[in-house]
């Protein structure tokens, strides 16, 4: 399948041949959901376990008698009110890591990419190289590519093969516009944006990985 490559002026600058297996693969919502869930879960930190009253090492003996001491009543030195005591409503150790094998990951990313192409949400450009790191000039370039609607930006993801400082600086102050390199790309980035703009070189390399 041939995809049109858009130039800086918004006109067609050529075509890019992409494997039909990517586009022909049917969208698998169950697999994509599993992929996104695992990606988000793996980004979470594991909770740190604390000791409850039953876990604290110490005597279970009442430290002093109930009355006549002139001190507050106490039943155990392991009380959460005491220093070194157990924690109230303790959290158990929780590990959120989910494993997704390589075959499933590649199939899920192919499914997402094919759906983006079918929905015409994927824009292939020849380059993402701003001349200057100026937000205004880059916003005008995005408008040339038709990435504006009612003077407000849709959520747009810009993907390049390698990190470009000018691209990052020019895009970071534009609402709903994010940038990433191909090595940083994940399933959440693709499904979480209305438009995905990718360079021809990055798309070709992405296809080879899949």
25 vs 59: CA distance, rounded Å:
65
Number of other residues whose CB lies within 10 A of the CB of residue 153: 18
Radius of gyration of the chain (CA): 27
The per-residue pLDDT for 92 is 67
190 vs 172: CA distance, rounded Å:
18
The per-residue pLDDT for 10 is 84
Model confidence over 55-72: pLDDT tens digits? 888 888 899 999 999 999
3-state secondary structure at position 184 = helix
Model confidence over 9-42: pLDDT tens digits? 888 888 888 888 777 778 899 999 999 999 998 8
- Which residue ranges make up each domain of the chain? 2-44+98-209, 47-94
Q: Which long-range contacts (CB under 8 A, 24 or more apart) does 18-21 make?
A: 18/117, 18/203, 18/207, 19/207, 21/110
Architecture of domain 2-44+98-209: 3-Layer(aba) Sandwich (3.40)
pLDDT of 149 over the 60 cut: no
pLDDT of 3 over the 60 cut: yes
Contacts of 100 (CB under 8 A, 6+ apart): 34, 35, 38, 108
163 vs 181: CA distance, rounded Å:
6
Contact 110, 20 (CB under 8 A): no
pLDDT of 90 over the 90 cut: no
Contacts of 161 (CB under 8 A, 6+ apart): 181, 182, 199, 201, 202, 205
């Amino acid at each position: 399948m041939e995809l049109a490559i858009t130039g800086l002026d918004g006109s067609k600058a050529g075509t890019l041949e992409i494997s039909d297996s990517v586009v022909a693969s049917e969208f698998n919502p169950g697999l994509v959901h599993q992929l996104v869930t695992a990606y988000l879960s793996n980004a979470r930190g594991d909770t740190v376990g604390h000791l409850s009253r039953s876990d604290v090492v110490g005597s279970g003996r009442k430290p002093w008698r109930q009355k006549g001491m002139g001190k507050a009543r106490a039943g155990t030195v392991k009380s959460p009110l005491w220093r070194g005591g157990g924690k109230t409503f303790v959290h158990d150790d929780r590990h959120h890591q989910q494993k997704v094998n390589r075959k499933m990951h590649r199939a899920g990313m192919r499914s997402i990419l094919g759906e983006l192409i079918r929905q015409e949400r994927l824009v292939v450009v020849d380059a993402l190289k701003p001349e200057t790191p100026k937000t205004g000039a880059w916003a005008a370039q995005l408008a040339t590519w038709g990435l504006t609607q009612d003077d407000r930006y849709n959520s747009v993801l810009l993907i390049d093969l390698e990190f470009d400082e000018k691209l990052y600086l020019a895009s970071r102050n534009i609402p709903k516009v994010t940038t990433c390199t191909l090595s940083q790309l994940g399933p959440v980035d693709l499904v979480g944006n209305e438009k995905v703009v990718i360079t021809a070189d990055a798309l070709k390399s992405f296809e080879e990985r899949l």
